[in-house]
Amino acid sequence: MAKIRPGDRDKAGDEELALRFVNTLAWRNAKSPEERLPDAEALLDWLAGAQGIEPQALSRLRKRGERRKAEAEAVYHQALELREALSRLFLARGQKLSPSSKDLHILNRILGASRPRIAAVPSATKGAASAWRLAPSEGEENEILAPIAWSAAELLTGPRGMRVRQCEDERGCGAVFLDQSRLNNRRWCSMGDCGNRAKARRHYLRKKQASGRKDPR
């Protein structure tokens, strides 16, 4: 059976940048998670697609990355380290648990090193007039991670931080999302796939129970 990829739906782009970034390790709770950012180039592509970086800054960084491979590699590893720290920080926040000081240090190091500059850019979504977003300042390569860190910090320090959840899909989807449901009881990343599947599975089990048949598998 073809898996529905959580990355496919982040094109909808309405989730916070930091949450979408965490979800670039898809099937996080499965036996073999899927790495959507296999190398430094993929990281830049993702940032461009996620509007976490401006096009001019992106082409500048690509050129620089070709010249200074070791530097680009280091930023890539820092990005993955940040992603895993954010995953743990969000889950801790959502469950009202104390965060690990090591994870906080990873986030705060990037926040502390960045020099914020705010850009207002037209939203890619049709019908929306415009959207504010934070853009990294010129120059420092490691500042490409700054918008993700700011997005995370904003979420973690605000009241919405307590609404970060992880998909309960039993195959191990593990995608994080912001629960904006009125009853605060959303369980799946998307009703379109993981939620639907859980519903179908429950329906199947109920039917099986009722008829007393064996699982056909």
Return residues touching Zn ion (CB under 5 A): 167, 169, 173, 175, 189, 194
Name the token pair of 16.
Answer: 């916070």
Q: Where is 57: in which H helix or E strand?
A: helix 55-67
Q: How many C-beta atoms surround the C-beta of residue 174 within 10 A?
A: 23
Amino acid at 15: E
146-157 and 69-94 helices, crossing angle to 10°: 10
Residue 189 near residue 103 (C-beta atoms within 8 A) = no
DSSP state letter for 41: H
Q: How far is the CB of 82 from Zn ion (least distance, A)?
A: 22
Query: For residues 111 and 107, what is the distance between their CA atoms, to the nearest angstrom?
Result: 6
Q: How far is the CB of 4 from Zn ion (least distance, A)?
A: 8
- Close Cβ partners of 28 (under 8 Å, ≥ 6 residues apart): 87, 166, 172, 173, 174, 175
**Based on CB atoms, which residue is closest to Zn ion, 25 or 44?**
25
In order of 91, 92, 171, the CA distances from 167 in angstroms are 11, 15, 10
Q: How far is the CB of 167 from Zn ion (least distance, A)?
A: 3
Residue 111 near residue 177 (C-beta atoms within 8 A) = no
Q: How far is the CB of 36 from Zn ion (least distance, A)?
A: 15
**Based on CB atoms, which residue is closest to Zn ion, 66 or 170?**
170
**Based on CB atoms, which residue is closest to Zn ion, 151 or 166?**
166
**Based on CB atoms, which residue is closest to Zn ion, 143 or 169?**
169
Q: How far is the CB of 75 from Zn ion (least distance, A)?
A: 29
Q: How far is the CB of 168 from Zn ion (least distance, A)?
A: 8
**Based on CB atoms, which residue is closest to Zn ion, 8 or 66?**
8
**Based on CB atoms, which residue is closest to Zn ion, 99 or 195?**
195
